């Protein structure tokens, strides 16, 4: 049973895309799925790798909460439609969408290829467009609106040699604001989270990060605190909850203050 304080989410249904995490770690989507379930949400965990989605759903079930896993490539409209249909068929409603999928790549415009640019935009931006396109009608059909949370990055606010990535993350912020304007009258709030240099499998899986690199990222926080997927998941839960009922079109920066001082290529 749910074990978090009531945030007005009990009995609601959430979709979390990118809800798996490599190497048994805790990514932003996995953390959000677990934390949403603790509020009483029923969670549909979507990931391109169904095994990873099932691992997240198993954690939720072990805690006595409700989740189901589905394999989906959210760069595919067919898969996006299938995820929403699965939520409606299984739980009969849809209230929350956490658009969490994205990829990272470091390159300047001179180094970047058109092929990779197109892939970046499709995976990181078009995926959110497609999921929202299919989720919003389901939310409206429920008659009580809903909440969409899009995951961007401080790279949208502090570009640093990741041109395609920074551009995609900036587009997500603009997309968030446009959705908030267009669908606010239907009771749908749309907000954005911009994570800083959090320690997740996206940055360390496969030995991609050295201990020295991890320490530099920790030091980029004004408080000397290392950010994790749980910090991003907590921000998602807040924005999905009734505690944020008067917040829409907003970008919540969760970075330990890194954007105030750091210019390192570490976030």
Catalytic residues: 165
Are 254 and 231 in contact by the 8 Å Cβ rule? The answer is: yes
Tokens of 69: 């896993």
**Which SS3 state, helix, strand or coil, does residue 251 take?**
strand
∠ CA(65), CA(70), CA(73), 5° rounding? 140
Number of other CB atoms surrounding residue 163 within 10 Å = 20
Are 215 and 264 in contact by the 8 Å Cβ rule? The answer is: no
Are 44 and 5 in contact by the 8 Å Cβ rule? The answer is: no
Residues in the chain: 267
Q: Name residue 16's beta-bridge partners.
A: 45, 98
Which residue, 169, 163, 39, is CA-closest to 99? 169
Are 256 and 196 in contact by the 8 Å Cβ rule? The answer is: yes
Are 227 and 199 in contact by the 8 Å Cβ rule? The answer is: yes
Give the Å distances, CA to CA, from 91 to 36, 143, 265.
Answer: 15, 15, 43
Tokens of 241: 């909850």
């Amino acid at each position: 049973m749910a074990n978090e304080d009531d945030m007005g989410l009990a009995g609601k249904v959430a979709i979390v895309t990118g809800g798996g995490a490599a190497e048994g770690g805790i990514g932003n989507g996995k953390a959000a799925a677990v934390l949403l379930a603790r509020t009483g949400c029923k969670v549909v965990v979507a990931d391109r790798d169904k095994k990873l989605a099932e691992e997240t759903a198993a954690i939720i079930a072990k805690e006595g909460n409700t989740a189901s896993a589905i394999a989906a490539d959210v760069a595919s409209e067919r898969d996006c439609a299938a995820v929403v249909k699965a939520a409606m068929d299984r739980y009969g409603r849809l209230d929350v969408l956490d658009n969490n999928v994205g990829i990272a790549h470091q390159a300047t415009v001179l180094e970047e290829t058109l092929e990779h640019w197109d892939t970046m935009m499709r995976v990181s931006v078009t995926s959110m467009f497609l999921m929202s396109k299919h989720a919003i009608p389901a939310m409206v059909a429920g008659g009580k609106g809903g909440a969409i949370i899009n995951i961007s990055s401080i790279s949208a606010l502090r570009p640093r040699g990741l041109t395609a990535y920074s551009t995609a993350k900036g587009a997500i912020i603009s997309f968030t604001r446009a959705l908030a304007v267009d669908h606010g009258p239907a009771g749908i709030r749309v907000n954005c989270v911009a994570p800083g240099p959090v320690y997740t499998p996206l940055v360390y899986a496969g030995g991609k990060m050295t201990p020295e690199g991890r320490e530099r990222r920790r030091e980029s926080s004004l408080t000397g605190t290392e950010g994790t997927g749980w910090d991003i998941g907590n921000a998602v839960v807040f924005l999905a909850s009734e505690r944020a009922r008067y917040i829409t079109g907003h970008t919540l920066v969760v970075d330990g203050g890194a954007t105030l001082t750091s210019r390192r290529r570490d976030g």
